[in-house]
Chains A and B, each alone.
Chain A
Amino acid sequence: MSQIRRLVPVVAVVAGLTALFLFGLLRGSPDRNIPSNLLNRPVPDFDLPLFERYMSDFGPRLSLAEARGRPLVINFWASWCGPCYEEAPHLQRAWLDHGEEVFFVGIQTQDRDARAAGRAFIERFDLGFPNVIDDDSRVSIAYGLFGVPETFFVRADGTLQHKFVGPVTESVMREQIGALLR
């Protein structure tokens, strides 16, 4: 009996270390879904150059200040980012459905000197909402971006309702835009 009692702490330590090892093994890549520090706070303004196809409507640059007073969907993407290709059709669909009430803007970021690749990305999905170029990633830093894609849902008063990390889906767009318009 005393032998068994003596073994209990050893078994406990081994079991604890095994559990820790398995946790490390199974948890996968680090979780990027960290709540934004901007949550419920006003999102930063930006003034960035537009891709050519939007210049006839907006001029050479787009300033977020001009879109204030409307709910916003701000999507950060890069031409090298696989999941960005996955989500682009959902963004275009949501813009076609809600573009009158919600202002959509795409930001090519963390993708320096890749304007041609950015243009090809936009053409591929025929993105109708304006897309701008954050060549030096300063806006991505101002928004506390961890990677791409990330999508910010901003209320009409300019405060952040939700930041979605990863490729958006139809249901995410429906849920978040529904909350923006309520």
Chain B
Amino acid sequence: MTGLRLAPARRARLPALLPALLVAALLATAAAQDRPLDPRVFDIGRELRCPTCVAESVGESNAAIAREMRALIQEQLDAGADRREVLGFFQERYGDWILLNPPMRGMNLLVWLLPVAGAVVGLLVLARLLQRWRRAAEIPVDVDSAELDRVRTEMQDQLGDGAVR
């Protein structure tokens, strides 16, 4: 651990600087917390997954990390970054996982393509079934004449003579 010790001159100046540093840090923190956030912060936040939450975005979550991330987004917007650059900043650190709209490449393509493929397959199956049902309805049913007579007799018995022709 000895390799990280500070030079004596630098250490001597530190006690004098500490109160000023503390006040500056407190003021900066208070200013950052009091300031209302740009609506764009929430728009961008809604595209980012909150790292410590379940099924919540940075834009919606009240978790401490989400609040810090929103403050960071505000700082980046203030510095002139656009939406794509802000999303890229978080993507570089967390990977594609952080994006609630995963980019259309690699395995992520499945997320986009599977629902479309599912819908297409579903429509094809439905079309095939409808075709089969229609064809089945068109084919005349070959009924045995003895069986037809039996049904006719039973219906006459139940409904009366005029009901069945």
Q: Which residues of A contact B (CB under 8 A)?
A: 29-30, 34-38, 57-60, 62, 66-67, 70, 99, 103, 110-112, 129-130, 135-138, 140-147
Q: Which residues of B contact A (CB under 8 A)?
A: 1, 3-6, 10-11, 14, 18, 29, 51-52, 54, 64-65, 68-69, 71-72, 90, 92-95, 97-98
Chain A residue numbers with a CB within 8 Å of B14 are 59-60
Chain B residue numbers with a CB within 8 Å of A36 are 95
A146–B4 touching, CB < 8 Å: no
A34–B95 touching, CB < 8 Å: yes
Q: What are 18 A-B residue pairs whose CB atoms fall within 8 Å in the complex?
A: A37-B93, A37-B95, A57-B5, A59-B5, A59-B11, A60-B14, A60-B18, A99-B1, A103-B4, A130-B4, A136-B68, A136-B71, A137-B65, A137-B68, A141-B68, A141-B93, A145-B51, A147-B52
Shortest Cβ distance from A147 into B: residue: B52
Q: A57-B1, A58-B6, A146-B52 are in contact. Are A34 and B97 (CB under 8 A)?
A: yes
B93–A142 touching, CB < 8 Å: yes
* Max chain B Cβ within 10 angstroms of own Cβ: one of A38, A112, A135, A136: A136
